[in-house]
Amino acid sequence: SGDLSQVAREKVLGKVRAGELRFLIATDVAARGIDIVDLSHVIQYDVPQHPETYIHRAGRTGRAGASGTAIMLVELLDQINLGRINKEYDIVMQNLAPPAEESTFEVIEQRARTIIRAKYRQLNANTKKMLDQYEEMVELLTMDEDGLRALSMLIDDFYQAEVHSGRKSNDRPKSIKPDSITNTVMADIAGELTEKMQTRDKLQFERMIRFEPLAESLAMSGLGFNALTMLVHEFHQSMIQPQSSGNGKKGGNNRRKPSSKRNNNGNRGRSRRGGRNDSNSNRRSSRGGRSSSSRSGRGKRSNNGNNRR
C-alpha cells in the first residue's frame, strides 16, 4: 500500500525476495516501485481504465530478459477498456475460461483430506488414545444423513480455520477423563451440532454439504475415522470452554438429539451405511493421502498474456 512507510515496504519486499512470502498484494501506486527478480506471475483483479496502467502492472513480471505471465480477471463490462489496451499496445491476449466449479472443489476436497489427516498424525500417542472415547460418537454420526452432514460441517469449519481465516484450530486437544464421554454427553454434543447446522447461512450450508462425500470417505478408513474423532473432540472443547468460568461445570444435558426428519435445510434420515474397511484394532495402520492446493474459482473470464522482455 502507498500508506506504508519506505522502511515497512522494504521489509515486506525483503520477505518476498527471501521466499518467506509467496504472494504480494499491491495498489497501483505501490506496484510501480516493485522490482523482484524472477517474479513469475502478476494477477490483475480488474481491467484498468487507462492502458498505461496495465503496462505498469504487468511490467512487474518478465523483467531483465526473463519471461513472465500476466493474468487479468475480466467481466463483460470490461470489454471496452480491454479493447483500448489491445489497440494501444498491440498485445495479443489469450482468453481463458475460469475452472469449472466441480473441478475446483475436487482440489479443495483433496487438500482438506490431506490437512486433516496430517493434523491427526502429529498428535502424540496419549492424545490419540484419549480420542478413542469419541469413536462411538463418530459411529453414530455416520449412521444417517444428518450425522454425516454434521461431520461435513466440522470438516468445513476446520478447513476454514486452517487455510483461510489465519486462525488455527485447537493445536493441543485437551485431555478428558477416562470413560467421561457417556451417552448423555454424546446426546449433548449431537444436539449442539444440530443447533449449529440450523444457524448456518445459505453460503455456509452449500459449502458444508459439498464436504459430505469427504466425511463419508474419511469414516470408511482407519486414519480418516480417527481424524474425525479429533474434529468431534475439538467441537466438544468449543462447547465446554465458554462455560468454563465459575464452578467449571457444564450446564444441563438437555440438548436434543439429531432428528431423522426433514429440517429447514432439507436434511433427510437414511439407513446405516456400510462398515469401514478395517477393524478397531488396525485403524491407525492407514497411511497416505493426496496433497494439493486450491483457491475458490471466480466467475470472471481471465486473460493470460505472456510478457517477454
pTM above 0.75, yes or no: no
Residues 110 and 63 in one domain: no
Residue 176 lies in a domain: yes
- 263: containing domain: 101-285
Which residues in the chain show pLDDT less than 70? Answer: 1-2, 164-175, 178, 242-309
Instruction: Report the pLDDT value the prediction gives residue 303, as an integer from 0 to 100.
Output: 54
CATH classification of the domain holding 14: 3.40.50.300
Indicate whether 155 and 81 sit together in one domain.
Answer: no
- 291 falls within a domain: no
The reply to whether 48 and 131 lie within a common domain is no
168 in the same domain as 137: yes
pLDDT in tens, 265-300: 444 344 444 445 444 434 433 333 333 333 333 344
pLDDT of 92-121, one tens digit each?
A: 888 888 888 888 899 999 999 999 999 999
Q: In terms of C-beta distances under 8 Å and separation of at least 24 residues, what long-range contacts does 215-219 make, across chains too? A: 215/142, 215/148, 215/149, 215/151, 215/152, 215/155, 216/142, 216/148, 216/273, 217/113, 218/113, 218/116, 218/151, 218/155, 219/138, 219/142, 219/148, 219/151, 219/273, 219/276
Please report the pLDDT score of residue 157 as a whole number: 94
Residues 81 and 111 grouped into a single domain: no
Asked whether residue 71 falls in the same domain as residue 219, the answer is: no
When divided into structural domains, the chain yields a total of 2
- Domain boundary residue among 67, 92, 117? 92
